[in-house]
Amino acid sequence: MASEDDDGLVHARGIRYATAERFTAPALLPAADGVIDATRRGPACPQLPSRLEFVTGPVTNGLPMSEHCQVLSVTAPAHAHRLPVMVWFHGGAYVSGSGESAKYDPDALVTEGQVVVVSVSYRLGIFGYLNLHDRDTENLGLRDQICALQWVRDNIAAFGGDPGRVTVFGQSAGADSVLSLAMCPEADGLFIRAILQSSPLGLRGDRTPMTAAMREAATASLAGVPPTEATAERLLEAQVAAITVARRSGQVGLMAFAPIMGRAPLPSDRESRIGDVAPRIEILAGYTRDDARPFITMAPRAKLLGRLGPVGRATAASFGRNMTRSVFGRPTTELAEAWTAAGGRAATFRVDWSPDDAPLGACHCIELPLLFGYPQTWSDAPMLGHRPRAIPDELARRTRAQWAAFARDGVAGLEQAALRIA
């Protein structure tokens, strides 16, 4: 049982797509025989407040939390038929967020773009990416995401979506997830296009020593309590201990929890895998002009520089530009070039927009209000300055049109959309 609004949209919320006990691989749920209640938002994975609340405002406020967080929501035009499907993976450094957040409501994208949007929630942090019980069963959050895509393949036609035209898209850790999904043989055939927004590709690399240290710190924090028996709150305390240790590993520690290459379902060699998948999957990859500004702002060094007046602020801004280039900008361009060299189609973009009084410029997450939610949904987002409702309608429509056009027709669709909008 879903809900249909006066605006002609169908919302099916909180649909359970898989089941799993703590630290175990998920099992895809078969289609329900009877009627299910899909009128309420589902739970988010247990988590601590996001470190980026000073940028976006609260994202998961009002949502219940549960380790059984393998849920998704579908938004579709009421009379959809064989429309392109866009599957959204939220960001949050793999430790926070939820696809059930009202900030990610895709109503405008669905209505204007004539697409079906599926928003996915999955296990995060210590629950999804640091298995303290079974080291042979890693990447649980990524496995959840694959189950969600299998659910879409099997069920999305009932909502008017075309299972043969699926685009996965994500921002930040969600974009990193999108690339990981492309690398997974188990996800072959589940999508044909991918959008990566602000993926911290510069933080990828060998995580083995850091992960080992994180596991040791988390286990020590539990003080002998078996990880399968600890409360969720106790596991979150262990997660904090793991993150504290990860910070000693340099920039890679900024995203301490993430899929681990070489552990199922991920292969060990990303480069050779790109050669396999690039001809079959088109990508659209972008970042924002000031993507790294929030992370520089959080750094203790930046706080010290802020006390030095204009010179200190200018130095911090320089650090931000350099980090944006090294973590987001250059790796995004290099990924697109590698994709094209391997026989695929790729396009890149940069988001430069920000409100006039935005304190962090065109920072990480600045494009989200252009795609999702409503002005009132984002009215508590400090990144938008003192006039948070001043989201330009024309630019928002243009952004949604471009992303929907890519979902419909790939890179060729971007060119056609630009002509229609101009």
- 237 Cβ contact partners less than 8 Å away, ≥ 6 residues apart: 221
pLDDT tens string 119-155: 999 999 999 999 999 999 999 999 999 999 999 999 9
Statement: residue 303 has pLDDT above 80: no
Predicted confidence at residue 5, as pLDDT, reads 63
pLDDT above 70 as % of the chain: 92
Contact of 172 with 178, CB cutoff 8 Å = no
Residues in a beta bridge with 9: 77
pLDDT of residue 421 exceeding 50, the answer is no
- pLDDT at res. 10: 96
Nearest C-alpha neighbor of 381 from the set 363, 403, 402, 399: 363
Least confident of 149-158, 172-181, 412-421: 412-421
- For the chain, the domain total comes to 1
pLDDT 10s digits, 25-44:
999 998 777 788 899 999 99
Comparing 307 with 70, which gets the higher pLDDT? 70
Give per-residue pLDDT as tens, 84-99.
999 999 999 999 999 9
* 182 CB burial (10 A radius; 0-12, 13-18, 19+): buried
User: What is the Cα Rg of the chain in Å?
Assistant: 20
Domain containing residue 228: CATH number: 3.40.50.1820
- Beta strands, E only, 127-261: 161-171, 193-197
- Please return the burial class of 136, using the count of CB atoms within 10 Å of its CB with bins 0-12, 13-18 and 19+: exposed
Output 233-237 pairs: Cβ under 8 A, ≥24 positions apart.
Answer: 233/46, 235/46, 235/126, 235/127, 236/46, 236/47, 236/48, 236/125, 236/126
Q: Each residue of 352-404: pLDDT tens digit?
A: 999 998 999 999 999 999 999 998 999 999 999 986 557 899 999 999 999 99
- pLDDT score recorded for residue 419: 44
Q: What 3-state DSSP class applies to 72?
A: strand
If one counts every other C-beta atom within 10 angstroms of the C-beta of residue 362, the result is 21
Q: Which domain holds residue 49?
A: 3-421
Least confident of 124-133, 240-249, 295-304, 413-422: 413-422
